[in-house]
Amino acid sequence: MKILITGIAGFAARHFLDYLNVIEPGSEVAGIYHETLPEFDVKKLGNLTITFYQLSLLEKDKFAAVLQECKPAFILHLAGKSSVANSWKDPSGSITDNTNFFLNIVESVRVLNWPCRILSVGSTEEYGNANAGLPLKETDCPEPASPYGVARVLQQKLVAIYANSYKLDIVHTRSFNHIGPNQKPEYVIASFAKQVVQQDMEGKKEIILKTGDVNVVRDFSDVRDVVKAYYQLLYKGRKGQTYNVCSGNGYVLKDIIQLLAKKIGKPVHDSIDEEKFRPAENKTILGSFEKINKETGWKPEISIEKSIEDIIEYWRGILSDIAKKQ
């Protein structure tokens, strides 16, 4: 595989490289990052040849130059301002930057007439407060309820335009919440796990979590399953189509907290932090992966229990290393 990955320093990209290193040794990867060079150990990805490029996707000419240099057969677009919470703080940045990131990619491919498959990674936030019944399907009408959701709907609409009018080979995902080791604590499960492990290591007998609304329902998938879906869609997805990437299971955040308590072996209680509440919140998110399963054979395999266990171990390692350096 000869692939260009935007957002190479991010959460999903790291796991995609781990999978590619095993499933398709000899692959050539061009990785675009903006500010911080990826922290992962490239030596552990010995089956891959990776070249890094530092640039902003707002710099269209620089991206086009990289495209001409690396000549990928595939583009996996993972870069973006992906925090829903932050999109409420900077709506303009979330909408304009995410949209222009994608526009500069597809415009470069169109102008250069470069033959490649593009995987556009979108979000469950596109559905927003969908009026359709659950589970959500790709045919349900998007009703975004956050600035970030609006940005991803715009991206999906551009996929349709460039696939239908310009005949670009693009596939779009609506990726539901995904979790796993290495995720930043600005995301809910990573935040919970870090707080739990930190207080456990401090010897607290009871653990208090600062949380937002813990009564919402979310469809969580393990990131290691998610990147396998991306790989399958790069090869088997149909041009111009949108695919849910989800577990098909709904988890109340309160129940996730109790699962963390069980794994840690201590009582865990939530303490509401009003600052973590959003102006609008999708109360229940649950998706169907029927379409991607039917067309590619993909299905989620890693249980929520396994995901939580591995996330806890990840934070034990990170916080232990920090303690040793102090």
pLDDT over 90 (residue 37): no
Q: Give the model's confidence band at 17: pLDDT under 50 very low, under 70 low, under 90 confident, else very high.
A: very high
Same domain for 84 and 226: yes
37 with 101, same domain: the answer is yes
Report the distance separating Cα 193 and Cα 185, nearest Å: 8
Residue 144 has pLDDT above 80, yes or no: yes
Q: Verify that 188 and 318 share a domain, yes or no.
A: yes
Q: Are residues 190 and 59 in the same domain?
A: no
Q: What average pLDDT does this structure show over 136-150?
A: 94
**239 and 256 belong to one structural domain:** no
Q: What is the DSSP letter of 67?
A: H
Are residues 142 and 257 located together in one domain of the fold? no
DSSP 237-290: PPTT-EEEE--S--EEHHHHHHHHHHHHTS-EEEEE-GGG--SS--SB--B--H
Pairing of strands 251-252, 217-218: antiparallel
Answer yes or no: do 155 and 194 share one domain: no
Into how many domains does the chain fold? 2
Query: Do residues 204 and 103 both lie within one domain?
Result: no
Residue keyed to tokens 């401090």:
202
| 290 assigned to some structural domain | no
Going by pLDDT thresholds of 50, 70 and 90, the confidence category of residue 43 is confident
Could you tell me the pLDDT band of residue 42, with boundaries at 50, 70 and 90? confident
Q: How far apart are CA 196 and CA 258, in angstroms?
A: 11
pLDDT at 276: 65
Q: What is the DSSP letter of 71?
A: -
pLDDT in tens, 108-139: 999 999 999 999 999 999 998 865 689 999 99
- pLDDT value of residue 45: 96
CATH number for 202: 3.90.25.10
What is the pLDDT of the chain when averaged over all its residues?
94
Whole domain around residue 255: which residue ranges?
184-218+249-285+302-325
- CATH number of the domain encompassing residue 105: 3.40.50.720
**What confidence tens digit (pLDDT) does each residue in 58-116 have?**
999 999 999 999 999 999 999 999 888 899 999 999 999 999 999 999 999 999 999 99
pTM summary value? 0.96
